[in-house]
Amino acid sequence: MLSAILIILAAIFYTGIINRTKSIASGRKGPGLFQHLSDVIRLFKKGAVYSKTTSFIFQIAPTIYFSTVVIAMLLVPIGNSKGLFSFQGDFILFAYILALGKFFSIIAALDTGSSFEGMGASREALFSLFAEPAFFILMGSLALLTGHTSFHEIFSALHLGSYTTYAIAALGSFVLVMISMVENSRMPIDDPKTHLELTMIHEVMILDNSGFDLGLILIAGYLKFAIYAAIVFNLFVGTIHYEYSIPLFFFTQFILAVFMGLVESFMARFRMSHNPQFIMALSSVALLIFFGVLLIIGKFI
């Protein structure tokens, strides 16, 4: 349960740090550290408006999406603390419970009957499809290296003691951070601030959501950032005492938030046709990790 509490605390600050980093990098005063939370609280105080063309799918999708992210959060360990749910193969449930939430978001966008939202839904589905192999190649490689198939046991048995293992951890961090940016529809894949119709992806999917439902979607995005950053933390730290793991956890969250803010400040958004190529390239990086693991265990021929 400690891991879930730490992830929630990190999620409170994560998006605010990204926004502050972007503001500082562009020489603006920008929003406060907790402005995103104020926006969510304001949305929670408002009622949701539903179009007559939508069905019950559109009404339940935000709740299901938020619930799947919470369940995924409960699977992630932090240091010596297991996730609330920990079992063999839990990283498979992690991936597909998030996919379930994405599925309901997509069919909710289609449920509106808008070809505009359908366009964004098809793009989001395509990008998620391309990102999935990279995650499974990475986690499968770590499972092969450690001989375990649960998050906690994998990270407990993962010891960084050579240049190869450090290279694997660095490449794994890159893959996870990029997957996080894809899953949260951030630059350079997507721009959450854009309102140019032909280039919108995630934002166009939630145009019809309002009030409490929109607040749930935003909170789920904040939690996703912290969840992926927690997995990156586990790659390097493993199991150490709480007096060291907790400060290192928040330090890792801070560094990754600043990194994402700098990426969004200094990188231009990719052309839409280049997004699939970039996301598929993550699978190539994950394959390098796989070959590194084969080299370590002596199976590389």
Q: Please count the other Cβ atoms lying within 10 Å of the Cβ belonging to residue 222.
A: 22
| 179 pLDDT higher than 70 | yes
> For position 255, what pLDDT does the model report?
92
Q: Is residue 26 part of a domain?
A: yes
Q: How far is CA 265 from CA 60, 210, 259, in A?
A: 35, 28, 10
CA distance 130 to 118: 19
Q: Is residue 301 part of a domain?
A: no
> For position 164, what pLDDT does the model report?
75
Q: Count Cβ atoms within 10 A of the Cβ of residue 266 and give its class: 0-12 exposed, 13-18 middle, 19 or more buried.
A: exposed
| 64 pLDDT higher than 90 | yes
pLDDT classification of 98: cutoffs 50, 70, 90: very high
Q: Is residue 74 part of a domain?
A: yes
Judge contact between 201 and 191, C-beta under 8 A: no
Judge contact between 254 and 15, C-beta under 8 A: no
Judge contact between 188 and 270, C-beta under 8 A: yes
Q: Is residue 138 part of a domain?
A: yes
Q: Is residue 103 part of a domain?
A: yes
Judge contact between 30 and 20, C-beta under 8 A: yes
| 176 pLDDT higher than 80 | yes
The pTM assigned to this predicted structure is 0.91
Q: Which domain holds residue 278?
A: 2-296
Q: Is residue 105 part of a domain?
A: yes
Q: Which of 226, 225, 228, 236 is nearest to 168 (CA)?
A: 236
Q: How many domains does the chain have?
A: 1
